[in-house]
Amino acid sequence: MRLLNVFGLRRRALLVVAALALPAIAGCGDRNLWNRDFTKAEAASPKRDVTGYWEGSIAMGGLRAHIESARITLALKCDKAGKILAQGGAPIAFKSDAPVRMTLLDDLKVDNDERCGFRFRKGEEFRYRVGDNGVLELDFAGSSVSRLQKLAD
């Protein structure tokens, strides 16, 4: 009887570990947007949709963004070699009245490295426009405007 309890305990422990690991595994793809290889990805659709994977540059370095219907993730390369990286994400809400924008529902920041990072506060708005040429112009809460090319949907 005692042997059965040990196996039952192990099974429950394994289920708990699996339940905790599943969300982490599901989010692995965007843990570092700079590690994603878009050369094998399907070509981005020509539609003027702001959601998807984007890449461009800002004054500090290279920028990648993953914009979803309810979340934005930004990844910044702070040096030419790409050894200093910063990434953060936050939930967003889209506003369709003019001007179109996404509003941060939480802080969008990077805390792990003082040499490289960004911080946008909850409630700040990112105005955007997707041009006919498929370039996304993204205004980071009035601090800078970036022109990004779509990498994938």
pLDDT in tens, 65-123: 999 999 999 999 988 788 888 999 999 999 999 999 999 999 999 876 667 888 999 99
CATH code of the domain containing 99? 2.40.128.50
Q: Tell me which residue range forms the domain holding 2.
A: 1-30
- Do 71 and 128 lie in one domain? The reply is yes
pLDDT category of residue 32 using cuts at 50, 70 and 90: confident
- Do 40 and 62 lie in one domain? The reply is yes
- Do 52 and 15 lie in one domain? The reply is no
- Do 60 and 3 lie in one domain? The reply is no
Tokens of 115: 């040499």
Q: For residue 66, what pLDDT is reported? A: 97
* pTM score, whole prediction: 0.76
- Do 14 and 57 lie in one domain? The reply is no
Q: Is the pLDDT reported for residue 144 higher than 70?
A: yes
* Placement of tokens 């890449």 in the chain: 55
Distance CA 104, CA 120 (A): 8
Strands (E) located in 22-144: 52-58, 61-67, 71-77, 85-95, 101-104, 108-109, 119-120, 125-130, 136-140
State mean pLDDT over 27-32.
Answer: 59
- Do 39 and 58 lie in one domain? The reply is yes
What is the average pLDDT value for the chain, to the nearest integer? 80
Q: Is the pLDDT reported for residue 142 higher than 60?
A: yes
In total, how many domains does the chain have? 2
Q: Is the pLDDT reported for residue 15 higher than 70?
A: no
pLDDT category of residue 148 using cuts at 50, 70 and 90: very high
- Do 66 and 15 lie in one domain? The reply is no
Mean pLDDT is highest, among 22-31, 122-131, 132-141, 142-151, for: 122-131
- Do 23 and 82 lie in one domain? The reply is no
Could you tell me whether strands 145-152 and 52-58 are parallel, antiparallel, or unpaired per DSSP bridges? antiparallel
Q: Is the pLDDT reported for residue 7 higher than 50?
A: no
- Do 43 and 12 lie in one domain? The reply is no
- Do 67 and 83 lie in one domain? The reply is yes
- Do 82 and 136 lie in one domain? The reply is yes
Q: For residue 4, what pLDDT is reported? A: 45
